[in-house]
Structure 1
Amino acid sequence: MAGKASTTTPSTYSPSPNQRKRPPLFKDGDLDWVRPDGRGFHQCRPAFFRTGAVNAAAGSAYAEFGNTKVIVSVFGPRESKKAMMYSDIGRLNCNVSYTTFASAVRGQVSDQKESSSMLHKALEGAIRLETFPKTTVDVFALVLESGGSDFPVVISCASLALADAGIMLYDLVAAVSVSCLGPNLVIDPISEEESYQDGSLVITCMPSRYEVTQLTITGEWSSARINEAMQLCLDACSKLGKVMRSCLKEAASASEEP
């Protein structure tokens, strides 16, 4: 029987400002440029999480970051159909899909096969696979609405769903992305910003262990710019991890109530 669902209020997790002086992010012609949703360049969208979103699943979670809405269901551990012989570790299967109405432009969504593979890579290192030998855990992520930074939201939501299912983890996995727009770095970009980006960087990590499980970079980056973007993402992941743990604590408290 599924426990009581837990709902958290939207929480911000923006990285702390670097105290060292940095060269200005703006060129003369960019001084009046503002992000479409009014956020600062280094300000993340409020993060909303809720566990226990799907009663039929072993664990589940719903995440909403601005217009990006994701729901993840976890099933298992259950007997692996592919395991022809005994294995000392379990298997992890991941599937990412989009609703037909996820994007305003039909067909304008990420490669679902590639996203599924990347989700597997991002999560596998955080799961204690030896705790469920010869069995499989299935993770099904559905993007209800594509509002930008979809993949990082999918990863964070999937991690929370695994924890809700009682799967043993070394740590939760949080993910944050940064887009390079001309001379500016913008964190947690929305769809409009992603469509104009010169490059992107996505980090998935285990915040408590300060371990990166996956790093994806597209476009051309200087070493200094990559370092700045990585620090922004890692700091934001640390803050996001606290929001995720808070959601789990509230779920545990709700399940203990009579």
Structure 2
Amino acid sequence: MKNYKMIIQYDGTRYSGWQAQKDTPDTIEGKIENVLTHLFEEPITITGSGRTDAGVHALGQVANFHALDMPCDTIHDYLNAHLPKDIAVCSVEEVPERFHSRLSAIGKTYLYRIHTSPVSDVFARKFYYDYQTPLDIARMRKAASYLIGTHDFKSFCANKRMKKSTVRRIDDIVITPSDSELVIAYTGNGFLMNMVRILTGTLIEVGDGRRDPDSIPDILAALDREAAGYTAPPQGLYLKEVYYD
């Protein structure tokens, strides 16, 4: 048996998220597993680096699977010939047996796109959060500075019954404005359920004046989801890259 690593891009608009589900065929994982099962003529299970939610996109999702020996080019070409056009496999390579797309990951970068122009871009509306309100970048950057480092991010986790540790490390938050758009890039060693979307909703509330930038330490200390801002919608979120040693 060989261990294969894939890098995958997808438009998550019409899917119920990454993870395969029994009650719907419309998941990214399910679509890829179905094609691989036909190729290898035996059931194939893939493991992703993380579960993106319904409507969330990926520029560099990573997944791996074990299967019989087959040229990587053959796997790559077959996948792209048979997958829906909103899913693309960028590369396939053989990796060591112990490689695990989730457990071997040491960090990730997510992007969140916010459209701030009063005029919507009708052709890109599925790929950003159409907020249409100017945001104070300086206030947002000050708030973001409090989030850098290792903290308990329980206030920014949608799973209120989470029993595992909610401590994570954020290495960088870069906020880049343009004439009509704001892009926030989050890099860290791992992210909790809806964490990036809750962080974004909180920073938006700082940017539009609803919250004070200096309120972030109190939100972290509260360890309470209700203390943080709202959950920004999924269509603005992209898994950009996953990092490995």
* TM-score (ref. length: structure 2): 0.27
* TM-score (ref. length: structure 1): 0.26
